[in-house]
A and B are shown apart, each in its own frame.
Chain A
Amino acid sequence: MKKKWYDFLWIASLIYLVLGFVNILFAWFGLLCFLIPLIISIAKGTKGYCNRYCGRGQLFSILGGRFGLSRKKDIPRWMKSKVFRYGFLVFFLIMFFQMLWNTYLVFAGVQDLKQGITLLWTFKLPWHWAYHGTLMHSGVAQFAFGFYSIMLTSTILGLITMVLFKPRSWCVYCPMGTMTQFICKIKNGKHIDQKSPVPTFRQS
């Protein structure tokens, strides 16, 4: 099958992760991974981002599939349950707003810039080598540190589940995927009979 330009977006994801080690301000580009899926789901009512443009999903596919870094086992049932998926989305959003709050405190001058990232919402790591100052307010850098923490944390979680289960296991509980599916359900739910049995097979 002929590859399209969007089949190479995994390169962008990889470059993004590397740039976070070089200059933390590049972390701002990660907002695209939040905004584009939301815009597509709200405007078009599809999960076009997941289905086509998600570079991270492609990266997991390549690492787990072509490079054989996945056990390719079934994901546990609880991880695909609605309770876990929506619970993880809520947890993720709470952590996201907490990061925004910390950014606000730096902007307000209440708190100093912390040149570090927090992995898995717990482990604080120094990250000063990736900060070379900014012409703007230090709050801009604080947001970058916080946002890159989120992106790196979710990449690590995705890599762990990629190894343990199938390559794109992250897609099952990805908060953006859950959120865009929720938006699509609100937009299109009434047009699709979600309780319908499997489509009937017509013999020709």
Chain B
Amino acid sequence: MNPGRSLKKAVIEQHSCVACGCCVKVCPRKAIEILGGIMARVNWEQCVGCGKCMKECPASVITIQEVC
């Protein structure tokens, strides 16, 4: 494991996601996509856990969590 790499990632409470796409717009790493107009999904390989999506999400269904 690379010790310098952040293991904080965005986690989406998918069943409450409204798929508005606000998170996609603010993600600086283009790590989020909307799956079939139903929910957002984070690509953890791209996510750096910056938390911009968490702040933006109008439904507040995104949290930043340690994922190791």
Contact = CB atoms under 8 A, between A and B. Distances in A.
Interface of A: 41, 45-48, 50-52, 57, 61, 72, 74-75, 80, 85, 165-172, 177-178, 180-181, 183-185, 187-189, 191-192, 194, 198-199, 201-204
A172 B39 contact: no
Query: DSSP majority for the B interface?
Result: loop
Interface of chain A: mostly helix, strand, loop or mixed: helix
Interface of B: 1-2, 9, 11-12, 14-16, 18-22, 24, 34-39, 41-45, 55-61, 67
A47 B19 contact: yes
20 contacts: A41-B37, A45-B36, A50-B19, A51-B20, A80-B59, A169-B58, A171-B58, A172-B18, A172-B20, A177-B20, A180-B37, A183-B37, A187-B36, A187-B37, A188-B37, A194-B39, A198-B11, A199-B41, A199-B42, A202-B45
Contact of B58 (A41, A165, A198, A199): A165
